[in-house]
Structures are given as structure tokens and as C-alpha cells.
Amino acid sequence: MNEQQQRCKDEFLHNDQIMAESSPLTTHVLNATDGVPAARMALSLHRLDSKLMIWAMLSVGTTNQDGRCPGLINQETFTPGMYKLRFETGSYWEGLGQPSFYPYVEVVFTISEPEQRFHIPLLMSRFSYSTYRGS
């Protein structure tokens, strides 16, 4: 990597860090099969409309080279309620030329104190996944 490419990469990572720090909700997707971040995975964030009982899409994104997707939601939009992160795992594995059992993974969670920060990692392989509330 030449000096200009390294500067661009450093600036990109710095901007991602700033966006992640300003978002009350972050995620990190790891490909546990290969032991690497799951780069270029599409995902979306939804909130449940409790009156209509339907999911409203709030944002879409793609994980960066580090498997993170900064800037999912801002503090003003992050209100108490039920949320869902949908990870397009099938497309990710297909892009690597590998079949997978799960076409997507949906992680549903409840936010009661939106002033806190929430981190939702997804560790996955082609045939399993695990998640937890991080900090």
C-alpha cells in the first residue's frame, strides 16, 4: 500500500469512528469461519410501529472493511421501542462463493433507555450465528 492509499484508509477509518461514536447503536459483524470481519454485508435497521404492529425501515447500510456499519441512527431518532437489525447473511456468503443455511439473520431487541449506548455484535458462520448486547 502506498502512502496516499494509507492516508485514504486512515481517513476512512477515522470518519467511521466519528460516525460510530455519534450513533447510540453500533454493530460489528465477524465471519467466524475465516476469522475475519464480514466486510460488504448489507444490513437494515427497523423499528416496530406499536400501533400498526408493522416494522418501519429506518436505515440501510453496508459493513465496512472492519465489519462495522457506522451511523445507523442518530440520538434524536433513537426512541424507546422495539428494534430489529436485519443482516443479509445469505448474500454475503453467496458473494464468497459459499452456500449458507441462513438467508438472513434478524436480531430483535427492546430499547427502554435510549440515552445509553448499545452495541450488537454478530458472530457468524455459514451454519450458525451468535449475538449479545455489548457495550
pLDDT confidence tier of residue 22, bands split at 50, 70 and 90: confident
Instruction: Quote the CA–CA distance of 12 and 64 in Å, as a whole number.
Output: 10
All domains of the chain in start order, with CATH:
3-131 (2.60.40.180)
**Residue 14 assigned to a binding site:** no
Q: Is the pLDDT of residue 14 over 60?
A: no
**Residue 119 assigned to a binding site:** no
Q: Is the pLDDT of residue 37 over 70?
A: yes
Q: Considering the entire predicted model, what is its pTM?
A: 0.84
Compute, in degrees rounded to 10, the torsion defined by CA atoms 83, 26, 69, 36: -110
What residues contact 42, with CB distance under 8 A and at least 6 apart? 60, 61, 62, 87, 88, 91, 92
Q: What is the pLDDT of residues 42-101, one digit of tens each?
A: 999 999 999 999 999 999 999 999 999 999 999 999 999 999 999 999 999 999 999 999
**Residue 28 assigned to a binding site:** yes
Compute, in degrees rounded to 10, the torsion defined by CA atoms 81, 45, 21, 42: 160
